[in-house]
């Protein structure tokens, strides 16, 4: 099919013999020669849209990708660029997904020729290999973030990862513990220090890294408050305190009587452990609430393992450590607190309140439903 005639400088669109639509345009001059670029799409509509975006990018001074740049080369460079602006744990997760999942499947494709069907095939391949839909969705999200930067820089005309179909993920509502179940979990912990740690987790709703990163100076027993400002992370084999994941994660948690009691007992136990350890006491991060018997930070993976073992030994249903956050939310809602109060205490943003509501709707206080029933009865008078 002949190219549809377009105005000078607006490029052309052709249907190729292989069934792809080629949007071809001039990308300026290089070494005295005009540089032409092509974008390949599955429909004329896509080609027209991609051509418009590419021309707009050129008008704004953006540069098209060099003809030989592959997806793999671009992603490796992208990982280097984003390293200073993301948390180390985030970078490690992105790096693993990019290097182990995305590049092996898409790395040899030229960046300008990557299309949504390539990403669709990647997601199908990952799930066929036995990876979960969540992992495939995470791989797509990372690729989409990278291509957003490429789109901003004028290296691509569209974000094909955003156009690809996301994996279907079955939503499983989190298990919300009742007060009786929460107490059973606490009592199932065989060691006093683990029992106190789980008690504080249930009564504060902190993420595991946040809980293990709390220092004694962050606790104001007189005011009954705990200040959350940092989290513990293991980076390259060493423990570090890093800022919490977002502005809304910086928060003040009101302490319950049970939490205050557990913290007081932990402080006395830690003083005893310090004396018993003597010269073996080492604090690479001073003043942490929860440490090993020699002052070292607690390992999150080992802690989760001990927690799950204790539940199994007590004959309780299996659960993840993260369920303790849901337990806190459920207990707060059950005591009469509203979602607008509970969501900030969990470190959620106000935007996520709409997502929080369906999760915890079934544990809203009975008295709130009773109030609605009483209002309904007022309609008919007495």
Task: Write the pLDDT tens digit of every residue in 195-242.
Answer: 999 999 999 999 999 999 999 999 998 899 999 999 998 877 889 898
CATH number at residue 244: 1.10.443.10
Do 306 and 257 reside in the same domain of the chain? yes
Distance separating alpha carbons of residues 337 and 364, to the nearest angstrom: 9
290 occurs within a structural domain: yes
Of the candidates 365, 368, 354, the residue with the CA atom closest to the CA atom of residue 332? 365
Confidence of residue 373 (pLDDT cuts 50, 70, 90): low
Do 186 and 274 reside in the same domain of the chain? yes
378 occurs within a structural domain: no
151, pLDDT greater than 90: no
292 occurs within a structural domain: yes
CATH number at residue 121: 1.10.150.130
Residue 363 confidence (pLDDT): 58
Task: Write the pLDDT tens digit of every residue in 234-266.
Answer: 877 889 898 887 788 899 999 999 999 999 999
User: End of a domain among 107, 128, 163?
Assistant: 163
133-152 and 71-82 helices, crossing angle to 10°: 80
Confidence of residue 155 (pLDDT cuts 50, 70, 90): confident
Of the candidates 223, 169, 193, the residue with the CA atom closest to the CA atom of residue 294? 193
Nearest 5°: phi and psi at 41?
-135, 170
Residue 146 is part of which domain span?
71-163
Task: Write the pLDDT tens digit of every residue in 306-329.
Answer: 999 999 999 999 999 998 998 888
Residue 121 confidence (pLDDT): 95
When divided into structural domains, the chain yields a total of: 3
Residue 156 confidence (pLDDT): 83
Do 325 and 236 reside in the same domain of the chain? yes
Confidence of residue 356 (pLDDT cuts 50, 70, 90): low
Q: What sign for the dihedral angle of Cα 27, 30, 34, 37?
A: negative
> Which helix (H) or strand (E) covers residue 26, if one does?
strand 21-30
Q: Identify which has the larger pLDDT, 281 or 46.
A: 281
Do 220 and 137 reside in the same domain of the chain? no
Distance separating alpha carbons of residues 141 and 339, to the nearest angstrom: 29
Distances from the Cα of 45 to the Cα of 4, 41, 51, 297, angstroms: 13, 9, 10, 57
Q: Which region among 7-11, 41-45, 100-104, 192-196 has the lowest average model confidence (pLDDT)?
A: 7-11
Residue 120 confidence (pLDDT): 95
168 occurs within a structural domain: no
Residue 277 confidence (pLDDT): 94
List Cβ neighbours of 260 (8 Å cut-off, separation of 6 or more). 221, 224
Residue 357 confidence (pLDDT): 59
Residue 371 confidence (pLDDT): 47
Do 227 and 293 reside in the same domain of the chain? yes
Do 252 and 304 reside in the same domain of the chain? yes
State in Å, rounded, how far the first CA of the chain is from the last one.
80
374 occurs within a structural domain: no
Exposed, middle or buried: residue 253 (CB in 10 Å: 0-12, 13-18, 19+)? buried
Instruction: Classify residue 38 by its DSSP letter.
Output: E
Do 198 and 311 reside in the same domain of the chain? yes
Contact (CB, 8 A) for 211 and 204: yes
Do 82 and 55 reside in the same domain of the chain? no
Do 190 and 158 reside in the same domain of the chain? no
- When pLDDT is averaged across residues 62-71 and rounded to a whole number, the result is 66
41 occurs within a structural domain: yes
For residue 220, what are the β-bridge partners?
225
List Cβ neighbours of 155 (8 Å cut-off, separation of 6 or more). 62, 63, 64, 65, 69, 74, 111
66 occurs within a structural domain: no
143, pLDDT greater than 90: yes
Q: Cα dihedral angle (197, 203, 206, 211), rounded to 10 degrees? A: -30
285 occurs within a structural domain: yes
361, pLDDT greater than 70: no
Do 290 and 215 reside in the same domain of the chain? yes
> Which helix (H) or strand (E) covers residue 149, if one does?
helix 133-152
């Amino acid at each position: 099919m002949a190219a549809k005639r377009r105005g000078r400088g607006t490029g052309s669109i052709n249907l190729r013999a292989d069934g792809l639509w080629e949007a071809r345009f001039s990308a300026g001059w290089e070494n005295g020669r005009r540089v032409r670029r092509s974008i390949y799409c599955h429909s004329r509509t896509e080609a027209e849209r991609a051509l418009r975006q590419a021309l707009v990018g050129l008008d704004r001074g953006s540069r098209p990708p060099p003809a030989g740049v592959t997806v793999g080369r671009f992603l490796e460079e992208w990982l280097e660029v984003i390293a200073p602006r993301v948390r180390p744990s985030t970078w490690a997760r992105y790096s693993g997904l990019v290097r182990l999942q995305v590049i092996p499947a898409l790395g040899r494709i030229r960046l300008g020729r990557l299309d949504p069907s390539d990403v669709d095939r990647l997601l199908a391949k990952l799930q066929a290999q036995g990876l979960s839909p969540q992992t495939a969705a995470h791989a797509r999200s990372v690729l989409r973030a990278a291509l957003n930067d490429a789109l901003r820089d004028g290296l691509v005309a569209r974000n094909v990862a955003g156009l690809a179909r996301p994996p279907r993920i079955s939503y499983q509502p989190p298990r919300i513990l009742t007060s009786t179940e929460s107490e059973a979990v606490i009592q199932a912990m065989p060691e006093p220090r683990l029992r106190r740690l789980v008690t504080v987790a249930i009564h504060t709703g902190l993420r595991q890294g946040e809980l293990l990163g709390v220092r004694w100076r962050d606790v104001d027993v007189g005011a009954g408050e705990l200040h959350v400002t940092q989290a513990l992370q293991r980076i390259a084999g060493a423990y570090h305190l890093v800022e919490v994941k977002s502005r809304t994660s910086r928060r003040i948690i009101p302490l319950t009587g049970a939490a205050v009691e557990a913290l007081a007992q932990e402080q006395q136990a830690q003083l005893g452990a310090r004396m018993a350890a003597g010269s073996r006491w080492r604090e690479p991060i001073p003043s942490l609430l929860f440490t090993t018997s020699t002052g070292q930070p607690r390992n999150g993976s080992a802690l989760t393992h001990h927690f799950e073992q204790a539940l199994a030994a007590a004959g309780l249903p299996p659960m993840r450590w993260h369920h303790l956050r849901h337990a806190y939310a459920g207990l707060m809602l059950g005591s009469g607190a509203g979602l607008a109060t509970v969501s900030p205490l969990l470190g959620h943003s106000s935007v996520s309140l709409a997502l929080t509501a369906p999760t915890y709707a079934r544990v809203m206080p009975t008295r709130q439903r009773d109030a609605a029933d009483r209002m309904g009865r007022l309609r008919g008078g007495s």
